[in-house]
Structure 1
Amino acid sequence: MKKNFKFSLLAGAMAVFSLTACNDDKMEETVLPESQAESAKIEQPGDIEKICSYVDQYWTSSSVLKTALQNSTDTNFMNSQMTKIASLWGRSNPTLRFVDDPSSFNSTYNAISYSTGKIYYGYAIYYDAKSKGGDIVNAMILAHEYGHQLQYIYNLPSVSESTARPNELEADGFAGYYLRRPAGYNKSSFTEIAAAYEFAQSIGDYQTTHPSHHGTPAQRRSAVRLGFLLGQYALSAADFDYNFFYYYQGVLNGTYKMAKNTRNPEIDAYMSQYIEELKKIQTGEISAEEFKHLK
């Protein structure tokens, strides 16, 4: 999920008031072992953040911002994934924080990428994703949220609509790309990452005119499949955006572009093998079960 922030002086003053008025709850300390701490380079919380339970308006008032998950194994996995994802795109880590709510655990079933260079990841979505598909599902979700960071940095996506669908589908594509790249999660077989893709499509929606529409389950499946296919090539964020929407116009506009790819023509021969498949994923002709067994 993507959140933009353009604070006025008044809003800034209100935020300061909220922070200084928050409860005196101590945050957990980062649990990275010393050998990993240097490579991860996760920004440490400031003095106010350490003593405040205040998160922001997108989380419940009882939510608590933390630097750790429930154990060091989970925390270290997410911090190391954050480093790998950012490094794949030649960038340093954004601020990664975790959100817990002891009073309402399920209220943290969310992950949000902020235009201010932060990703907040809910406890509930982390542990549900892990229980349903293992670590790879959370790697995919984190890569999706970092995809929004790339959108903020490079003013992407190049396609706009009245809903959030292009932003969200491209972020799905960024996630699929990361899971395949050798310097990323390094899974060359699509069947190896089926659990992650199944989770992505399960949180699609059919509110096609709602401003926050993320794409239907079938559209999300085709987006992550396309990102995985583009992972055959080393692309910049801008080149990924160009190729993603070049081949994905069938989902957004109803017809696939069949003209020559002028920016990366070498990709055309490879992608031409998959155009019909992508159409069938989007229309549902390829079922969710068949999708999991694609090569």
Structure 2
Amino acid sequence: MKKILNPCFLAGIIAVFSLTACRDDKMEETTPDQVQTANAKPEQPNPSEKSCSYVDSNWSWSAVLINTLPTTTDTNFMNSQMVNIAKMWGKSTPTLLFVNDPVSPGSTYNAASYKTGYRIYYGYAIYNDAKAKGGDIVNAMILAHEYGHQLQYAYNLPTVKENTGRSIDLEADGFAGYYLRRPNGYNKTDFSQIAAAYEFAQSIGDYQTTNPGHHGTPAQRRSAVRLGFLIGQYDVTAKDFDTTFFAYYNGVLDGSLKMVDNTIRPEIKAYLDQYVDELKKIQSGEISAEEFKNLK
């Protein structure tokens, strides 16, 4: 995920007792899911800083890696969601850790999925802001998005490659929409029930379409969540999801469709074909925000 925004200086807490071992991972081992504040490149630590608290180059020098969120309820919710997301996809549970920055709390407005080590790091600032804007479902959506990147690592997805991160992150948005609908996922069968989640996805879209870090425009991001939600009517593998998602991907982007893949299950194709015009209207803005909320 990516958004350039004013820092959200939310209160942080120091939890030295729960620090994990310091790491010095390389940026290229993560997905460029930077929902970070305006300073693009954090300062690098000096040796003493690295030895006590440095997380890695995706986070500021003063960030610390911990096992918990500020409340037990929040921690338990996120850990249970992590277990459930992985279980739904038939995988073991990855390591989920949290990042706090008592010096600059807004710097943790980020979530990162790591190719090395099967792990996800989740910032305090993005957690708090997402919960404030839409409740638990928004953080469930973000976490499912991050786990979508783990599926991409595992299965060499997405099959559609682009010059920016757009196809990677829009597919991850689709994975998140899928999770929110599945009975063994978040189990929200009515699209209006996930309004807070897709509104948050839209809010972190960007228009930097030639930037390598481009993750999709606001309209494309909410369209991708909608498409994933529609696919969630059916039980599919990660690879089948990829095939289906990209058969309709151009509809998410610009209202045109690429209906050329005959490997989609006929019943899924027949179901999704009913929503072709809707996907076009979502992307073009013909469907208002209020109408979008009331889609079924």
Scaled to the shorter chain, the TM-score interval is 0.7 to 0.9
- Structure 2: gaps of 5 or more residues: 3-14, 24-50
Query: Radius of gyration: which is bigger?
Result: 1
Aligned amino acid, residue 271 of structure 1: L
Matching residue of 1:115: 115
Matching residue of 2:71: 71
Aligned with 2:97: secondary structure? strand
Aligned amino acid, residue 64 of structure 1: V
The Cα shift of 1:254 comes to 5.8
Equivalences for 1:82-101 in 2 at 5 Å? 82-101=82-101
Matching residue of 2:160: 159
- Answering whether residue 57 of structure 2 is matched by residue 57 of structure 1, we say yes
Matching residue of 2:18: 28
Closer, same or farther: CA 279–96 of 1 in aligned 2, 3 Å: same
Aligned amino acid, residue 241 of structure 2: F
Closer, same or farther: CA 239–27 of 1 in aligned 2, 3 Å: farther
Give the TM-score normalised by the residue count of structure 2. 0.83
The Cα shift of 1:285 comes to 1.0
Aligned amino acid, residue 84 of structure 1: N
Count of aligned pairs between the two proteins:
256
Aligned with 1:255: secondary structure? coil
Matching residue of 2:187: 186
Closer, same or farther: CA 250–125 of 1 in aligned 2, 3 Å: same
The Cα shift of 1:104 comes to 0.8
Closer, same or farther: CA 26–246 of 1 in aligned 2, 3 Å: same
Matching residue of 1:274: 275
Aligned with 1:79: secondary structure? helix
Aligned with 2:18: secondary structure? coil
Deviations 1:238-279 (A, max 9, x none): 000000000112344762024574331111211111000001
The Cα shift of 1:68 comes to 0.3
Alignment partners' CA distance in 2, 1:287 and 1:113: 33
**Higher relative contact order, structure no. (Cα contacts within 8 Å, ≥ 6 residues apart):** 2
Matching residue of 1:240: 241
Alignment partners' CA distance in 1, 2:255 and 2:287: 17
Alignment partners' CA distance in 2, 1:260 and 1:56: 41
Percent identity between matched residues is 70
Alignment partners' CA distance in 2, 1:152 and 1:179: 21
Deviations 1:119-139 (A, max 9, x none): 110000000000110000000
Deviations 1:93-142 (A, max 9, x none): 11111000011111100101111111110000000000110000000000
Aligned amino acid, residue 127 of structure 1: N
Alignment partners' CA distance in 1, 2:287 and 2:122: 32
Aligned with 2:263: secondary structure? coil
Alignment partners' CA distance in 1, 2:186 and 2:128: 20
Aligned amino acid, residue 221 of structure 2: R
Alignment partners' CA distance in 1, 2:293 and 2:52: 43
8 Å contact from structure 2 (residues 255, 283) kept in 1: no
Alignment partners' CA distance in 1, 2:53 and 2:99: 10
Alignment partners' CA distance in 2, 1:213 and 1:175: 18
Matching residue of 2:142: 141
- Structure 1: gaps of 5 or more residues: 3-24, 30-44
Q: Which moved more, 1:246-255 or 1:268-277?
A: 246-255
Give the TM-score normalised by the residue count of structure 1. 0.83
RMSD: 1.8
Matching residue of 1:41: none
